[in-house]
Amino acid sequence: MIRAENIRKSFGDQEVLKGISFTFEAGKTNLIIGRSGAGKTVLLKILVGLFAPSSGRVWYDDRDFSSLSKQQVRELRMEVGMLFQGNALFDSMTIEENIRFPMDMFTKMSFLEKQSRVNEVLERVSMEGINKKFPSEISGGMQKRVGIARSIVLNPKYLFCDEPNSGLDPKTSITIDELISNITDDNNITTIINTHDMNSVMEIGENICLLHEGKLAWQGNKDQVLQSDNEELHNFIFASPFLQKLVDRVGAKNI
Amino acid sequence: MNPLSLLFHFGKFVDWQRQIYRRPENIRMYYKELVRQMYDIGLGSLPIIFLISIFLGAVTVTQFYYQMDGQFIPNSFIGYIVRDMMIIELSPTFSCIILAGKVGSNMAAEIGGMRQKEHIDAMDIMGVNTSAYLVMPKVLAAFMMIPLLVTVSAFIGIAGGYLASVPVGLFTHNDYVTGLRLFFEPHNIFIMFVKAATFAIILTSVSCYQGYFVKGGSIELGEASTRAVVYSIILILVADYIIALILT
Ligand SMILES: Nc1ncnc2c1ncn2[C@@H]1O[C@H](COP(=O)(O)OP(=O)(O)OP(=O)(O)O)[C@@H](O)[C@H]1O
Ligand SMILES: [Mg+2]
């Protein structure tokens, strides 16, 4: 469980987050959704500690992030995996070396054990056999999977994904969503996904936080989305003209 | 560069040093990185150190010969002058200025690129102490390799002086060798090592700082790399003067 407690964040005199409180639950795929510029990435970076909030607290279960020392933060982070929007794969290392890196750094596993773990996670993301390739030699979707593989290699308790399916075709994007959702279920981890993809919302949105102009505009799960009368939610979900027409004709609750 | 921001960066730099010298998460990973850096800095810089040192020695001999021509000073003094010039000043300072350009800019660009591509953020989130992992092996490698390079440079410089004088016929083999053996002062070797080690730490720390805290895009990366070289050279020269004051 990760809890944001009245998080505020300003850059200069622009207040991007205006007091967000939300509980991201364990064993669920928690989604942060909202329009471009709503502050999703900023919130995610505050949750993982890459930005410090202007005020407010972040709790990892019973640990208050802001009260941890640098050393304690590093220890906490061994339980954290993150998929970056740009993947952040180390480009001078092969795929195998990328995935092995956290194990090399933090475990005393033997080379063979690491090797078999690499193959195991690559298989988990359906990418077996690309061990010796470099990140620049595989496609964007494949890089995403490798990024996921690297972030789960040490069995994290908390998994963060910044726009895991941006720039992917709908089909690949669904597989990535399913993959993340399955990993979450299997290992009972707290997963937080940042997305503006409607399909993701309706497929894997077990606990959704809608940001609008720096505030929490709506929260609920995928089944409550269509039942809700929330205006911001409707504006976000039915943004496409085609869907809007459909809604006008049959009503949102009947879709 | 206004004084206030200079002060700010100095404070940040000093504070950052405390993050660097920590116990490594994993000795083997740091060791691997150390070996890679020693190889890069040491072997990678040999050709250029070789080249500049030959010419430094040659120029020193040629110009001193010209300057002293017609004065009542024995030719053997030139060997003595070249030896001490190389050991005390030219080898440590010149080599490190060249290395600031070669090694320093390289380190700033490497670390800065990692910062911009979010590689450092990714490592941070894995729980790696990135300041330590990315910087400590580099400083340590330079601390060990640069004094060696400077020693090589001194020998090559003296050889360069020989090549530029004896075969050309400025004076004889015996003059030069006698000069090299004149008034030898082991303390000078000590000065050379102190300088080399100090400059090594300066140029790597400053360059890594410039890379680690880079913001923005490719233009800023270029600027950071330039700043790495310029600040390293300025600080090397300041340190050169201070060491000279203290040790002579
Ligand atoms: N480092 C920064 N410095 C200054 N302003 C920033 C910074 N990062 C984000 N912002 C501002 O915060 C606001 C929210 O940005 P954010 O990146 O969180 O949006 P987002 O919801 O992730 O959008 P998108 O869906 O396009 O990724 C934007 O107006 C942006 O200008
Ligand atoms: Mg974003």
ipTM: 0.88
B213 pLDDT tier (thresholds 50, 70, 90): very high
Return the pLDDT at A210. 92
Distance, CA A36 to ligand 2 centroid (Å)?
Answer: 7
Return the pLDDT at B130. 94
Return the pLDDT at B91. 93
Q: Which ligand is nearest to the CA of A9?
A: 1
B198 pLDDT tier (thresholds 50, 70, 90): very high
Interface of B with A (CB under 8 A): 19, 25-26, 28-29, 117-119, 121-122, 124-129
Query: β-strands A55-60, A215-220: how paired?
Result: unpaired
Distance, CA A30 to ligand 1 centroid (Å)?
Answer: 20
Give the neighbor-by-neighbor strand order of the sheet with A158-162.
Answer: A80-83, A158-162, A190-195, A29-33, A207-212, A215-220
Q: What is the mean pLDDT of residues B74-102?
A: 90
Contacts (Cβ under 8 Å, ≥6 apart) of A115: A96, A100
Residue B123 covered by a domain: yes
B104 pLDDT tier (thresholds 50, 70, 90): very high
Q: Which residues in chain A (60-89) have CB-CB distances under 8 A to chain B?
A: 70, 74-78, 80-82, 84, 86, 88
% of chain B exceeding 70 in pLDDT = 99
**Which range of residues forms the domain containing residue B239?**
27-247
Return the pLDDT at A191. 95
B25 pLDDT tier (thresholds 50, 70, 90): confident
Q: What is the pTM of this model?
A: 0.89
Q: How many CB atoms lie within 10 A of CB B34?
A: 19
Residue B162 covered by a domain: yes
A171 pLDDT tier (thresholds 50, 70, 90): confident
Atom 18, ligand 1: residue with shortest CA distance:
A39
Closest-CA distance of chain B to residue A114, Å: 15
Ranking A97-101, A163-167, B22-26, B52-56 by mean pLDDT, the lowest is A163-167
Distance, CA B197 to ligand 2 centroid (Å)?
Answer: 45
Return the pLDDT at A234. 81
**Alpha carbons A130 and A146: distance in angstroms, whole number:** 10
**What mean pLDDT is reported for chain B?**
91
A74–B19 CB contact, under 8 Å: no
Return the pLDDT at A247. 76
Q: What is the mean pLDDT of residues B170-188?
A: 83
Return the pLDDT at B219. 94
Distance, CA B86 to ligand 1 centroid (Å)?
Answer: 55
> Residue B121: its chain A contacts at CB < 8 A?
50, 84, 88
A36 pLDDT tier (thresholds 50, 70, 90): confident
Q: Which CATH superfamily is domain A2-223 in?
A: P-loop containing nucleotide triphosphate hydrolases (3.40.50.300)
Question: What are B22's two structure tokens?
Answer: 């920590």
Closest-CA distance of chain A to residue B207, Å: 21
Residue B21 covered by a domain: no
Q: How many separate domains does chain B show?
A: 1
Query: β-strands A190-195, A29-33: how paired?
Result: parallel
Residue B4 covered by a domain: no
Q: What is the mean pLDDT of residues A10-34?
A: 92
Tell whether the model's pLDDT for residue B134 goes beyond 90. Answer: yes
> Residue B124: its chain A contacts at CB < 8 A?
50, 77
Return the pLDDT at B15. 92
**Residue in B25, B118, B128 closest to A84 by CB:** B118
Query: β-strands A14-24, A29-33: how paired?
Result: unpaired
Rounded alpha-carbon distances, angstroms, from residue B36 to A94, A219, A251, B136: 17, 51, 65, 13
Contacts (Cβ under 8 Å, ≥6 apart) of A217: A34, A210, A211, A230, A232, A233
